[in-house]
Amino acid sequence: MDALEQNLGHHFSDPELLKRALTHASAHAVLSNERLEFLGDRVLGLIVAEKLHALYPDEAEGALALKFNTLARGAACARAAEAAGLSEHIILASSERASGGRQKPAILSGACEAVIAALYLDGGFDAAKNFVERYWDEMFATLGADMRDAKTKLQEWAQAPGRGGSAPVYTLVNRDGPDHAPRFVVEVNVEGLGSEQGEGGSKREAEQDAAARLLTRASTPT
Protein backbone atom coordinates (compact mmCIF):
# COMPACT_ATOMS: atom_id res chain seq x y z
CA MET A 1 0.00 0.00 0.00
CA ASP A 2 3.02 2.33 0.14
CA ALA A 3 2.56 3.61 -3.40
CA LEU A 4 -1.14 4.15 -2.83
CA GLU A 5 -0.52 6.04 0.41
CA GLN A 6 1.84 8.32 -1.52
CA ASN A 7 -0.95 9.01 -4.00
CA LEU A 8 -3.33 9.72 -1.14
CA GLY A 9 -0.82 11.99 0.62
CA HIS A 10 -1.30 10.22 3.95
CA HIS A 11 0.30 7.35 5.88
CA PHE A 12 -2.40 5.39 7.70
CA SER A 13 -1.92 4.60 11.36
CA ASP A 14 -4.73 2.06 10.87
CA PRO A 15 -4.05 0.27 7.56
CA GLU A 16 -7.17 -1.87 8.03
CA LEU A 17 -9.25 1.27 7.63
CA LEU A 18 -7.83 1.84 4.17
CA LYS A 19 -8.30 -1.82 3.29
CA ARG A 20 -11.96 -1.63 4.26
CA ALA A 21 -12.41 1.53 2.19
CA LEU A 22 -11.26 -0.45 -0.84
CA THR A 23 -13.41 -3.53 -0.19
CA HIS A 24 -16.43 -3.74 -2.47
CA ALA A 25 -19.60 -5.46 -1.26
CA SER A 26 -19.11 -8.20 -3.85
CA ALA A 27 -15.99 -9.31 -1.96
CA HIS A 28 -17.36 -9.02 1.58
CA ALA A 29 -20.94 -7.98 2.25
CA VAL A 30 -20.42 -7.34 5.97
CA LEU A 31 -16.98 -5.69 5.92
CA SER A 32 -17.52 -3.69 2.73
CA ASN A 33 -16.87 0.00 2.16
CA GLU A 34 -20.56 0.98 2.07
CA ARG A 35 -20.69 2.62 5.52
CA LEU A 36 -17.48 4.54 4.76
CA GLU A 37 -18.96 5.56 1.42
CA PHE A 38 -21.93 7.06 3.28
CA LEU A 39 -19.62 9.13 5.49
CA GLY A 40 -17.24 10.08 2.69
CA ASP A 41 -20.05 11.51 0.61
CA ARG A 42 -20.84 13.95 3.43
CA VAL A 43 -17.21 14.86 4.04
CA LEU A 44 -16.68 15.51 0.33
CA GLY A 45 -19.80 17.66 0.24
CA LEU A 46 -18.54 19.85 3.07
CA ILE A 47 -15.09 20.26 1.48
CA VAL A 48 -16.52 21.16 -1.92
CA ALA A 49 -19.11 23.53 -0.45
CA GLU A 50 -16.49 25.28 1.71
CA LYS A 51 -14.16 25.77 -1.26
CA LEU A 52 -16.90 27.04 -3.57
CA HIS A 53 -18.06 29.45 -0.85
CA ALA A 54 -14.54 30.88 -0.67
CA LEU A 55 -13.89 30.94 -4.45
CA TYR A 56 -17.14 32.60 -5.48
CA PRO A 57 -18.01 35.19 -2.80
CA ASP A 58 -20.41 37.08 -5.07
CA GLU A 59 -22.43 34.16 -6.45
CA ALA A 60 -25.95 33.36 -5.31
CA GLU A 61 -26.96 30.03 -3.79
CA GLY A 62 -28.42 28.71 -7.06
CA ALA A 63 -25.21 29.26 -9.01
CA LEU A 64 -23.15 27.67 -6.25
CA ALA A 65 -25.51 24.68 -6.17
CA LEU A 66 -24.97 24.04 -9.89
CA LYS A 67 -21.21 24.03 -9.40
CA PHE A 68 -21.55 21.85 -6.30
CA ASN A 69 -23.60 19.25 -8.19
CA THR A 70 -20.92 19.05 -10.87
CA LEU A 71 -18.10 18.52 -8.37
CA ALA A 72 -19.78 16.26 -5.80
CA ARG A 73 -21.54 13.80 -8.12
CA GLY A 74 -20.44 10.27 -8.89
CA ALA A 75 -18.77 11.09 -12.19
CA ALA A 76 -16.36 13.48 -10.46
CA CYS A 77 -15.55 10.88 -7.79
CA ALA A 78 -14.90 8.22 -10.43
CA ARG A 79 -12.57 10.59 -12.27
CA ALA A 80 -10.67 11.34 -9.05
CA ALA A 81 -10.45 7.62 -8.24
CA GLU A 82 -8.81 6.92 -11.59
CA ALA A 83 -6.37 9.82 -11.15
CA ALA A 84 -5.42 8.58 -7.67
CA GLY A 85 -4.84 5.04 -8.91
CA LEU A 86 -7.52 3.47 -6.73
CA SER A 87 -8.77 1.08 -9.41
CA GLU A 88 -5.99 -1.50 -9.15
CA HIS A 89 -6.35 -1.65 -5.34
CA ILE A 90 -10.13 -2.18 -5.12
CA ILE A 91 -10.94 -5.58 -3.60
CA LEU A 92 -13.62 -7.30 -5.69
CA ALA A 93 -15.16 -10.73 -6.02
CA SER A 94 -13.72 -12.70 -8.95
CA SER A 95 -17.01 -12.46 -10.85
CA GLU A 96 -17.04 -8.67 -10.48
CA ARG A 97 -13.42 -8.44 -11.61
CA ALA A 98 -14.21 -10.57 -14.65
CA SER A 99 -17.09 -8.28 -15.63
CA GLY A 100 -14.84 -5.20 -15.63
CA GLY A 101 -15.66 -3.99 -12.15
CA ARG A 102 -12.46 -1.97 -11.82
CA GLN A 103 -13.66 0.31 -14.61
CA LYS A 104 -17.28 0.68 -13.48
CA PRO A 105 -18.00 4.32 -12.54
CA ALA A 106 -20.25 3.36 -9.61
CA ILE A 107 -17.56 1.14 -8.05
CA LEU A 108 -14.84 3.75 -8.59
CA SER A 109 -17.05 6.48 -7.17
CA GLY A 110 -17.95 4.43 -4.11
CA ALA A 111 -14.32 3.55 -3.42
CA CYS A 112 -13.29 7.20 -3.73
CA GLU A 113 -15.93 8.35 -1.24
CA ALA A 114 -14.96 5.55 1.14
CA VAL A 115 -11.28 6.51 0.92
CA ILE A 116 -12.19 10.12 1.72
CA ALA A 117 -13.97 8.85 4.84
CA ALA A 118 -10.97 6.70 5.78
CA LEU A 119 -8.66 9.68 5.42
CA TYR A 120 -11.00 11.74 7.58
CA LEU A 121 -11.21 9.10 10.31
CA ASP A 122 -7.48 8.31 10.32
CA GLY A 123 -5.99 11.75 9.74
CA GLY A 124 -8.73 14.28 10.41
CA PHE A 125 -10.44 16.82 8.19
CA ASP A 126 -7.17 18.18 6.78
CA ALA A 127 -6.11 14.76 5.44
CA ALA A 128 -9.40 14.40 3.59
CA LYS A 129 -9.27 18.01 2.39
CA ASN A 130 -5.72 17.64 1.05
CA PHE A 131 -6.79 14.61 -1.00
CA VAL A 132 -9.83 16.39 -2.44
CA GLU A 133 -7.85 19.53 -3.26
CA ARG A 134 -5.23 17.42 -5.05
CA TYR A 135 -7.60 15.40 -7.22
CA TRP A 136 -10.40 17.93 -7.68
CA ASP A 137 -8.07 20.84 -8.50
CA GLU A 138 -8.45 20.49 -12.27
CA MET A 139 -12.21 20.08 -11.98
CA PHE A 140 -12.45 23.28 -9.93
CA ALA A 141 -10.25 25.07 -12.48
CA THR A 142 -12.36 24.01 -15.46
CA LEU A 143 -15.76 24.97 -14.08
CA GLY A 144 -17.24 26.76 -17.07
CA ALA A 145 -19.90 29.39 -17.50
CA ASP A 146 -22.25 26.81 -19.05
CA MET A 147 -23.38 24.94 -15.95
CA ARG A 148 -26.48 23.35 -17.42
CA ASP A 149 -26.73 19.75 -16.32
CA ALA A 150 -26.45 16.83 -18.73
CA LYS A 151 -30.20 16.12 -18.81
CA THR A 152 -30.94 19.71 -19.81
CA LYS A 153 -28.27 19.66 -22.51
CA LEU A 154 -29.49 16.33 -23.89
CA GLN A 155 -33.08 17.53 -24.04
CA GLU A 156 -32.03 20.69 -25.87
CA TRP A 157 -29.97 18.59 -28.30
CA ALA A 158 -32.82 16.13 -28.94
CA GLN A 159 -35.41 18.85 -29.46
CA ALA A 160 -33.28 21.12 -31.63
CA PRO A 161 -34.78 21.98 -35.06
CA GLY A 162 -34.33 19.17 -37.55
CA ARG A 163 -34.03 16.37 -34.98
CA GLY A 164 -37.67 15.35 -34.67
CA GLY A 165 -38.39 17.01 -31.36
CA SER A 166 -38.73 13.80 -29.27
CA ALA A 167 -37.69 14.26 -25.64
CA PRO A 168 -35.28 11.75 -24.05
CA VAL A 169 -36.97 8.81 -22.33
CA TYR A 170 -35.47 7.56 -19.03
CA THR A 171 -36.09 4.03 -17.72
CA LEU A 172 -34.99 2.59 -14.37
CA VAL A 173 -33.12 -0.63 -15.18
CA ASN A 174 -31.92 -1.72 -11.74
CA ARG A 175 -31.69 -0.70 -8.10
CA ASP A 176 -29.56 -2.58 -5.59
CA GLY A 177 -27.47 -2.03 -2.50
CA PRO A 178 -28.59 -1.23 1.08
CA ASP A 179 -31.00 1.59 1.88
CA HIS A 180 -28.20 3.86 3.15
CA ALA A 181 -26.09 3.39 -0.02
CA PRO A 182 -28.32 2.38 -2.95
CA ARG A 183 -27.03 2.10 -6.52
CA PHE A 184 -29.28 2.88 -9.48
CA VAL A 185 -28.91 2.00 -13.16
CA VAL A 186 -30.95 4.09 -15.60
CA GLU A 187 -31.19 3.88 -19.38
CA VAL A 188 -31.90 6.90 -21.57
CA ASN A 189 -33.12 6.63 -25.14
CA VAL A 190 -33.30 9.35 -27.78
CA GLU A 191 -34.98 8.55 -31.07
CA GLY A 192 -32.44 8.58 -33.89
CA LEU A 193 -29.45 8.55 -31.52
CA GLY A 194 -29.88 5.36 -29.48
CA SER A 195 -29.49 4.62 -25.79
CA GLU A 196 -26.93 4.57 -22.99
CA GLN A 197 -26.98 3.43 -19.39
CA GLY A 198 -25.74 5.40 -16.38
CA GLU A 199 -25.13 4.60 -12.72
CA GLY A 200 -25.38 6.61 -9.53
CA GLY A 201 -26.26 6.74 -5.87
CA SER A 202 -29.68 8.21 -6.70
CA LYS A 203 -32.05 7.89 -9.62
CA ARG A 204 -31.34 11.49 -10.59
CA GLU A 205 -27.57 10.94 -10.52
CA ALA A 206 -27.93 7.83 -12.69
CA GLU A 207 -30.09 9.79 -15.14
CA GLN A 208 -27.45 12.52 -15.32
CA ASP A 209 -24.71 9.94 -15.92
CA ALA A 210 -26.72 8.27 -18.69
CA ALA A 211 -27.46 11.64 -20.32
CA ALA A 212 -23.77 12.61 -20.19
CA ARG A 213 -22.79 9.34 -21.86
CA LEU A 214 -25.33 9.80 -24.64
CA LEU A 215 -24.23 13.40 -25.14
CA THR A 216 -20.68 12.12 -25.62
CA ARG A 217 -21.95 9.85 -28.38
CA ALA A 218 -23.88 12.72 -29.96
CA SER A 219 -20.75 14.89 -30.06
CA THR A 220 -18.46 12.14 -31.40
CA PRO A 221 -17.98 12.30 -35.19
CA THR A 222 -19.16 9.19 -37.01
Give the C-alpha separation, 4 to 85, whole Å. Answer: 7
**Beta pairing, strands 183-190 & 194-200:** antiparallel
Active-site residue list: 41, 113
Give the C-alpha separation, 76 to 105, whole Å. Answer: 10
> Which residue type sits at 57?
P
93 Cβ neighbours under 8 A, 6+ residues apart: 24, 26, 27
Q: Is 189 exposed, middle or buried (0-12, 13-18, 19+ CB in 10 A)?
A: middle
Residue 168: which of 105, 210, 203, 198 has the closest Cα? 210
